[in-house]
Amino acid sequence: MEASSHDEFREFVAMRSTALLRLAVLLTGGDRHAAEDLLQTALMRAYGRWTRIEQPEAYVRQILYRQQVSRWRLRRHHAETTVGVLPESAGPAGAGAEPELRIALWAALGRLSKRQRAVVVLRYFEDLPEAEVAALLGIPVGTVRSTAHRSLAKLRSLVPELEPDGPAEQMRPLSYTAKEIQG
């Protein structure tokens, strides 16, 4: 790799690694160590193809999604016990208006199944359309819809504060919280 390409990659990592790590933490259910491993794997794969990548962030995000889905499919058993730790917020001081709700949402996300968590993260945190979520996870669009519906119902039962005020406000509490998590 040329020196200029190497410098571009280093600059990309310096600028976007915090946001990519947040996404990886969500995908791993709050396990920061697994998220760091996931991000490192994605960045290593991107580095090997750096000169051919047109949209680096989209490419790395897709590697993150696919690598995490592969990890879920392997279903390896670990002898170690992992502890989820919330990442420090990089947002302004006033951004944590409802920290209890954010903490409750993090805990509730960890209680969803792996597929449910992936659908919620991709659909509402990443704001991807259903068709793109289906393509990334290798499932039909109808499965994305039904999984999202069941996942939101479960989140609302686990965190009653997410219950919408009315039909027009149906996604506002979850979207607001996801933006808070994003920083």
Torsion angle in degrees (nearest 10) through CA of 55, 56, 59, 65:
-130
pLDDT digits (tens), the chain, 183 positions: 678 888 999 999 999 999 999 999 988 888 889 899 999 999 999 998 888 988 998 899 999 988 888 877 765 555 555 556 655 554 444 444 477 777 788 888 888 888 898 899 888 888 889 998 898 888 999 999 999 999 988 988 888 877 765 333 444 444 444 444 444
What is the pTM (predicted TM-score) of this model? 0.50
Give, in order, the Cα–Cα distances in Å from 103 to each of 24, 28, 38, 141, 148: 17, 16, 23, 30, 21
By the 8 A CB rule, do 46 and 53 touch? yes
